[in-house]
Structure 1
Amino acid sequence: MTNLALRELCCIKTMAKTKLCYNLFLLLLVAGHATVGTTVKFLPGFQGPLPFELETGYVGVGDSEDVQLFYYFIKSESNPESDPLMLWITGGPGCSALSGLVYEIGPITFEPVEYNGSLPTMILNPYSWTKTASIIFLDFPVGTGFSYATTPSALQSSDLQASEHVYQFLHKWFVDHPEFLRNPFYVGGDSYSGMVVPIITQIIGIKNEMETKPFINLKGYLLGNPSTFKGEDNYKILFAYGMGLISDELYESLKTNCKGEYLNINPTNILCLQDVQTFKELLKGINNPHILEPKCEFFSPRPHLLFGQRRSLHELRNPQQLPALKCRTDWYKLSYHWADDGQVRDALSIRKGTIGKWDRCATLQYQKTVINSIPYHENLSSKGYRSLIYSGDHDMGVTFQSTQAWIKSLNYSVLDDWRTWTVDNQVAGYTRSYSNQMTFATGAGHTAPEYKPRECLAMLKRWMSYKPL
């Protein structure tokens, strides 16, 4: 029987069988492209069976499937049949999905103690976002985490190409998981993901308009401290002044001599160059991702400059919630020891010989071809998609002022003006909502759920339930 004949036969069945028939047709339509993940019931380092449903696997994308994207999928711990499904993209580019899973929003993390030579111990995170949503954590783009290429040329990628790879991934993933096609779907991420999440979301929306099957029930996207446009680092001067890190006199001199441009300075503008150098000297001991926390030595190979580079997850922090550690870097080190363990890789079904040493934030053959994602926000707003933009207001990597600036440039009217949002009768941050279904919220540091897990879970639950923060 041909595919067309099967489809016609399905159409004359009762309504009760419509979904089953559609799924059968869909499987025939993309036969040979579906992928089967592996259920993981135990993880080395965690005592006993996992109290949540974890699946790992690879999906081939690109020419001849020469890019193999690795993912972790965790079902909602509440009602996976109807709860939202979210694709999570960690920043970088090149920072592993495992980082977002264990240090930000996943149900399991490492016990915050210094490495003692044995396999790190894993514990549960009571504020996991899987309390309210199912999440696909994707090692993206190629070369990130456990994702790999089968040819040298396939290791090269860019913002647009990698975003298209994500759509191909989702297309094939949904073929293998058709039971989630009806769930509300969101794309989320933080840091550099602010450049690609809007692109990915737009691609999904366009494919839906083209009636490409499978239809993804796209509702919107969410971003934390998102890189968005080329000149956002200029707002670090205003941020530093507002936080009391520089004097009134230096701030006024910077404004006068540099006229708002602190990145691409004319070599002949000696006064501006001198002021910027003074600024850098004053702030060289400040921890960019959270200015109130100690600055520790780097544990990864790519240092972050005050101006001119995108912030990645290499920055090291020492939060109050990790009292057993001198530096947050000691917590991060555990992921390297854990991910390189042979038993761990077997448990995750990592294909042998595909990567060497695991890197939390890898150096990629990657071209940043998109320097401004604001037009994508504009388009998505015009299509009616929801968005949550949350900004850790103690982050100097992507300041809340730069985020507010591009949101304001969209020129949508304010529906719910600036006010506090609270958790357990305590102020968690400030929020404002707009007529384009965009909600802005402040609180914490660069990767907000890492610093304020309880508050960020409350934020997510309210927003995904269409309730005010």
Structure 2
Amino acid sequence: MAPTFSLLSLSLLFFLLLLSPLPSSSQLPPTLNSAKTQFQRLIRGFNLSPKHDVNTGRPGGQSPAVGPAMVEWPLKLPVYGDSGNSIQDLGHHAGYYRLPHTKDARMFYFFFESRVRKSDPVVIWLTGGPGCSSELALFYENGPFQIANNLSLIWNDFGWDQASNLVYVDQPTGTGFSYSSDDNDIRHDEDGVSNDLYDFLQAFFKQHPQYAKNDFYITGESYAGHYIPAFATRVQKGNKGKEGIFVNLKGIAIGNGFTDPEIQYKAYPDFALDMKLINQSDYNSVNELVPPCEQATKICAANGGDSCISAYATCNSIFNEILAITGNINYYDIRKPCEGSLCYDFSNLETLLNQKSVRTALGVGDIEFVSCSSTVYQAMQMDLMRNLEVGIPALLEDQIKVLIYAGEYDLICNWLGNSQWVHAMAWSGQKNFTATPTVPFVVDGAEKGQLKSHGPLNFLKVHDAGHLVPMDQPKASLEMLKRWTQGKLSENESEGRLGLL
């Protein structure tokens, strides 16, 4: 069995930045340079040291515009373990896609064919935040292999490629190995990001037509609570408009996501009190900050622009006040202590992926790995306080399955805030979902969570997990994926399954 690593996903770094102290709205400078400086300082503080603010690709300027739009090659990485399979045997690939509607953008991706059946669904995993890449989720959470302390790769016994044909992309452009030499290619909102992802998906199924009819699922965590609803909505628009290859979208899954800022910020005081992080007196004080946050998010929704930066600062004061009370707490998993200023160490990933031999094996040549891009983060700031829940009801009405899951010990995108926005969401099944009892989620005879389901909507609170459910509960998260994609998450089955709702 692969060991569990106490390493925070790069997707989480975004939320460290999102909820780190900022000036009040009245103190915000006229430019965003201070945010960029803060981003860079926080990266260094967490032992990340990307050499560049954004990935611009090969030295010397633009990439050739000639040649096929998508170029893919087999992965050639040594993996150790007793699986009996080589990485080449399992059909693992990497590639670049030249994004249309850009000057020079190339999106880098990994594709891992299922270890079990090629008929398994195609599952795409989206990274957690604007500015950070997807590779850490791949190598330390639910990918086919993980990075050991000595920088070797070992097989992950609970990789999601055991139940799906798994795709990871570095997005938005400028993160990870995705790059452009032109600043105009940097995205600023969900429309730009989701259009790029849709274009990539069309090219991917053209490249792999044998998978085009497989069930398709969009998954991810953290800030993917923004990306996923927007991308799914774009897929549905393309399907209904017959824009290209029909994408057999069956569902979306968001883990410890950031989706509805107004409701989720309001939940911080309640979660902190319930978990005994603060006392009643503290709660009363912190709760006074909630009404200004609610008002600020409404102004952001109406006006956009700078009002959304002000809303971010106003709502952030709720979280910052809780941290001022709790002190040195690991807010991605309140069970785990931090050592000094560092709660996690990201350095192994950068060390591995920036080795020349590894870059050669990945097929990226001289292109350097940019773990997190301050330029991309800065560009996406107007998007932070948008409410992306608004797109989900239409997906439910189209019978697209929606799974919202959350580890119970995460503070920053806590299960309570996620549960509250799910329950508040207006759709035709809202009353029945609210009235449905919660039942145990059982794996190998042990309760691993609490599930609530009605129709296409599922909410799962995962026990003994923080923000990174696939890392903290690898077996349970793989079982969750299997049952959900097979339509068995809420069925009455044999031992190890759930009770009847």
Please indicate the TM-score interval, normalised by the length of the shorter structure: 0.7 to 0.9
* SS of equivalent to 1:37: strand
Find the partner of 1:62 among 97, 100, 111.
100
Per-residue deviation at 1:247? 1.1
1:78-97 superposed matches below 5 A: 78-80=116-118, 82-97=119-134
1:454 corresponds, among 469, 475, 481, to 475
- 2:77 aligns with one of 3, 26, 43: 43
Aligned partner of 1:54: which letter?
Answer: H
Q: Deviations over 1:191-214 (max 9, x none)?
A: 001101111111111111111221
- Runs of 5+ unmatched residues, structure 1: 1-30, 266-271, 300-315, 317-327
Cα displacement (A) at 1:439: 0.8
Find the partner of 1:129 among 160, 164, 187. 160
Which residue, 364, 381, 384 being the options, matches 2:375?
364
**5+ long unaligned stretches in structure 2:** 1-65, 297-314, 491-497
Letter in 2 for 1:410: M
* Counterpart Cα distance in 2 of 1:275 and 1:455: 32
| Structure 2 equivalent of residue 10 of structure 1 | none
CA–CA distance in 1 between the matches of 2:277 and 2:242?
Answer: 53
Distance in 2, matches of 1:262 and 1:369, equals 16
Number of the residue aligned with 1:293: 336
What secondary structure sits across from 2:438 in the alignment? strand
SS in 1 for 2:481: helix
The 1:262–1:199 alpha-carbon spacing in structure 2 relative to 1, beyond 3 Å, is: closer
Q: Is the 8 A contact 1:291 1:396 kept in 2?
A: yes
CA distance in 1 between counterparts of 2:437 and 2:356 reads 53
CA drift of 1:452 comes to 0.8
Partner of 1:240: 272
Residue 75 (str. 1) matches residue 106 (str. 2): no
Q: Does 1:207 align with 2:222?
A: no
* CA deviations over 1:27-50 (Å, ceiling 9, x no partner): xxxx9755231011x315647932
Contact persistence 1:262–1:276 (CA under 8 A): no
Q: In structure 2, what is the equivalent of residue 339 of structure 1?
A: 353
Give the TM-score normalised by the residue count of structure 2. Answer: 0.73
CA contact (8 A) 2:130 2:380 kept: no
Q: What does residue range 10-409 of structure 1 map to in structure 2 within 5 Å? A: 34-40=69-75, 42-44=76-78, 46=80, 49-50=86-87, 52-63=90-101, 66-80=104-118, 82-111=119-148, 113=149, 120-231=151-262, 232-255=264-287, 257-258=288-289, 260-261=291-292, 279-296=322-339, 316=343, 328-329=344-345, 332-352=346-366, 354-355=367-368, 358-365=369-376, 366-370=379-383, 371-409=386-424
SS state at 1:36 partner: strand
Equivalence for 1:325: none
Q: 1:425 aligns with which of 445, 452, 456?
A: 445
Identify which range, 192-201 or 209-218, moves more after superposition.
Answer: 209-218
- DSSP 3-state at the match of 2:357: helix
| Percent identity (aligned) | 27
For the residue of structure 1 that corresponds to 2:70, the secondary structure is coil
SS for the counterpart of 1:228 is coil
* CA radius of gyration, larger in: 1
Secondary structure, aligned partner of 1:397: coil
Task: Name the CA shift for 1:144/1:259 in 2 (closer, same or farther; >3 Å).
Answer: closer
Tell me the alpha carbon deviations over residues 169-222 of structure 1, each in whole angstroms, 9 at most, x when there is no partner: 111111111111110001111100110111111111111111122111111111
Q: Partner of 1:93: helix, strand, or coil?
A: coil
Distance in 2 separating the partners of 1:252 and 1:387: 35
Aligned partners of 1:55 and 1:74 also within 8 Å: yes
CA offset at residue 53 of structure 1?
A: 2.2
Which amino acid in the other structure matches residue 62 of structure 1?
A: P
Q: Please give the alpha-carbon distance, in whole angstroms, between the structure 2 residues aligned to 1:46 and 1:349.
A: 20
* Aligned counterpart, 2:304: none
RMSD: 2.7
Distance change >3 Å, CA 259–CA 136, structure 1 → 2: closer
CA 260–106 in structure 1, closer or farther in 2 if over 3 Å, else same: same
Q: Is the 8 A contact 1:141 1:157 kept in 2?
A: no
The aligned length equals 392
In the TM superposition, residue 152 of structure 1 has moved relative to its aligned partner by: 2.7
Distance 2:316 2:239 in 1: 50
Task: Name the aligned partner's letter for residue 447 of structure 1.
Answer: L
Q: 1 CA distance for matches of 2:348 and 2:260?
A: 33
1:279 CA drift (Å): 3.5
Distance 1:379 1:229 in 2: 16
Contact 1:160 1:369 in 2 (8 A): no
The 3 A distance-change label for structure 1 pair 243 and 63 is: same
Give yes or no for contact 1:43–1:344 (8 Å, CA) kept in 2: yes
Alpha-carbon offset, residue 361 of structure 1: 3.0
Aligned residue type for 2:146: T
Structure 1 SS opposite 2:408:
coil
Distance in 1 of aligned mates of 2:395 and 2:466: 27
Letter in 2 for 1:59: Y
Residues 354-406 of structure 1 show CA distances to partners (whole Å, capped at 9, x for unaligned) of: 44xx2433323322444010111122112221111111111111111111111
Taking the aligned partners of 1:183 and 1:420, their CA distance within structure 2 comes to: 30
CA distance in 1, matches of 2:225, 2:277: 27
TM-score by length of structure 1 reads 0.78
Separation in 2, partners of 1:404, 1:442: 9
State the alpha-carbon separation in 2 of the partners of residues 74 and 295 from structure 1.
34
Give the drift of 1:284: 2.6
Corresponding residue of 1:439: 458
Matched letter for residue 265 of structure 2: D
SS at match of 1:196: helix
